Amino acid sequence: MRKQIVAGNWKMNKTASETRALLEELQAQLPATSAGVMVAPTFVNLTGAVEQLGGSAIEVVAQNMHFADSGAYTGEISADMLADIGIQTVILGHSERRAYFGEDDALLEKKTAQAISKGMQVIFCFGEELEDRKAGKHFEVVASQLKNALFGLPDTAWGQIILAYEPVWAIGTGETASPEQAQEMHAFIRKIVADAYTPEVADAVTILYGGSVKPGNAAEIFSKPDVDGGLIGGASLNAEDFSAIVAAIG
Ligand code: PGA
């Protein structure tokens, strides 16, 4: 069985005291689940979150990371810095990083390779824009994002990869891909991973859906056979909503 995961990407939200308060609420409200539950507070709140959650089943993950070991990269954070405070998983390639901070496939290839070589797990985000979908190019765009950034990795790296398909037109817009659209794309993704590697690698990789997942639509999206959970933005900032989404995965 593939690992199911529900991850909350808090983006640039929540101060230290708000982070503490939301984590307290989550600890009190989250339902028991066999799925992995992750939260991604902002960098300055990672240490506090790890300390607060020590021993709990909620994993604290980072939203980004630099590709270099260390050095003159003002404002950046390295894999070793994250590992040293107990972070084992990093989100890379989020569409906001791509759109607002110029992250392209070549940069993401370097970041992913670095995270893998440091023994970290990567939640790798990708997805087409609205124009791509309207033009019928969504499969092509997704295939090239994966090929360019990930398909140079050895088979053995895939145990550290979690994929997160996030159609850009569905992020923060209230518009979700239909469960059928999500399933269609996830099945396609699994097929191209099988073609590039092996059916076993493809079958084992967790593929999350992200983009306006809410308590009201989560169960239907998660019920699709190739959807192994979700990467949740807005709804992860509210303990009740995030708990309901975790409950929807069972
Ligand atoms: P959203 O964000 O749930 O607010 O649409 C998803 C994401 O950006 O990961």
**Which H or E run contains 8?**
strand 5-9
Please say if the pLDDT value at position 65 is more than 90.
Answer: yes
> pLDDT digits over 72-99, tens only?
999 999 999 999 999 999 999 999 999 9
Sign of the Cα pseudo-torsion (79, 74, 38, 214, in order): negative
One of 94, 96, 103, 186 is an active-site residue; which one?
A: 94
Predicted local confidence at residue 250, as pLDDT: 84
Ligand 1: does its nearest atom lie under 6 Å from the Cβ of 37?
Answer: no
Q: Give the ranges where 197-237 is alpha helix by DSSP (H).
A: 199-204, 215-222
Task: Identify the residue whose C-alpha is closest to ligand 1 atom 6.
Answer: 233
Return the percentage of the chain with pLDDT > 70, whole number: 100
Helix (H, G, I), strand (E, B) or coil at 177: coil
**Which residues are paired to 197 by β-bridges?**
none
Task: Identify the residue whose C-alpha is closest to ligand 1 atom 9.
Answer: 233
Q: Where are the extended beta strands (E) located within 166-203? A: none
- Average pLDDT rounded to a whole number, residues 211-228: 97
Predicted local confidence at residue 147, as pLDDT: 98
Please say if the pLDDT value at position 174 is more than 90.
Answer: no
